[in-house]
Amino acid sequence: MRLLLWWGGRALSSAVTLLGISVLIFAALRLMPGGFAETILGPFATPEQKAELAARYGLDQSVLAQYGHWLAAFGTGDFGTSMISRQPVAAELAARLPVTAQLTLLAVAAAVLAGVPLGVVTAVRARPGGGGGAGRLLSGLGVSVPEFALGSLVVFVVSRYGLQTTGYLLPAAVLSIFAISATARTTRDAVLGVLVEQHITAAVARGETPWFIIRHHILRNAAGPVLTLTATITAYLLGGALIVEYLFNLPGIGSYVVQAVGRRDYAVVQAGVLLAAAVFIVMNVLVDLLVGLVDPRLGRRA
């Protein structure tokens, strides 16, 4: 019962957060200088033309009324119509989803498959009293190279040596360097935290092999922070790997939304940002559920 109440509260606060985001994004768009009328009609449009255009998209109503209409439509799954292309926003986003989804999937898979083992190995090999300078420096380097710097370098190398860029491998590789390093660091921290617990001492005393201890006593207990990080990375990448899309000319969701910001295509920006935030929040709730399943101690504490 208490657990049910807790999840109810969680759902409620998520809804409040989403509402806050919708207000923020709506207000931000209305605060931006210039409007989409200028973008469509050009600088020589007459006030009458602008007024007609505004009326067509309901922009002549009060801001509060606009917000109400938008939110009500959004609730029924109608994300509105792009003011530039006149296509439904949902269809336009769906057309760009495969690019974003593949990039995300590749990067997250790399992060989990490479980052978790790296983190575990560096943790169980850590010597008491610090040390592990090389590993620390390497994973530190991985989280220190911004996407745009690494991406520029990769684009340079590829074009200089005439390499073929096949599919999403290279852009995903650029994204995954950070993801792998961050995952490795978090895994290492989590495992180090478990290693000093008494049940590990007991396992060592029973003469269990390190590999057995890792599989049976460490992985589950250290899973919490790693799962949370993986969810965060996934959600952020789904929201748009803007810079990598820009560098590699990929038609993903991130570049679509940013282009829409430039054109003041309100419906697209509103839907894109709100959906990205919703994905982020839902992922976080799901991962909390998952963490509770993998490590029941944490579920109960929540």
- Which residues here bind other proteins, judged by CB under 8 A? 13, 16-17, 20-21, 24-25, 28, 31-33, 124-130, 133, 136-137, 140-141, 143-149, 152-153, 155-156, 159-160, 192-193, 195-196, 200, 204, 210, 213-214, 236, 239-240, 242-243, 246, 254, 257-258, 261-262, 269, 273, 276-277, 280-281
Residue 51 or 285: the one with the smaller Cβ distance to other proteins is 285
Minimum gap (Å) between residue 96 Cβ and other proteins: 14
Residue 6 or 293: the one with the smaller Cβ distance to other proteins is 6
Task: Tell which residue, 104, 109, 138, 110, has the closest CA to residue 250.
Answer: 104
Residue 30 or 56: the one with the smaller Cβ distance to other proteins is 30
The DSSP secondary-structure symbol of 34 reads: S
Residue 51 or 298: the one with the smaller Cβ distance to other proteins is 298
Minimum gap (Å) between residue 89 Cβ and other proteins: 16
Contacts of 234 (CB under 8 A, 6+ apart): 104, 108, 283
Residue 51 or 173: the one with the smaller Cβ distance to other proteins is 173
Burial of 15 from C-beta contacts in 10 A (0-12 / 13-18 / 19+): exposed
Q: How many CB atoms lie within 10 A of CB 152?
A: 14
Q: Which amino acid is at 162?
A: G
Distances (CA, A) of 13 to 7, 20, 230: 10, 10, 22
Minimum gap (Å) between residue 123 Cβ and other proteins: 8
Minimum gap (Å) between residue 193 Cβ and other proteins: 7
Residue 132 or 299: the one with the smaller Cβ distance to other proteins is 132
* Region label for 264, one of left (φ > 0), alpha (ψ between -120 and 50) or beta (otherwise): left
Contacts of 260 (CB under 8 A, 6+ apart): 82, 84, 268, 269, 272
Minimum gap (Å) between residue 48 Cβ and other proteins: 27
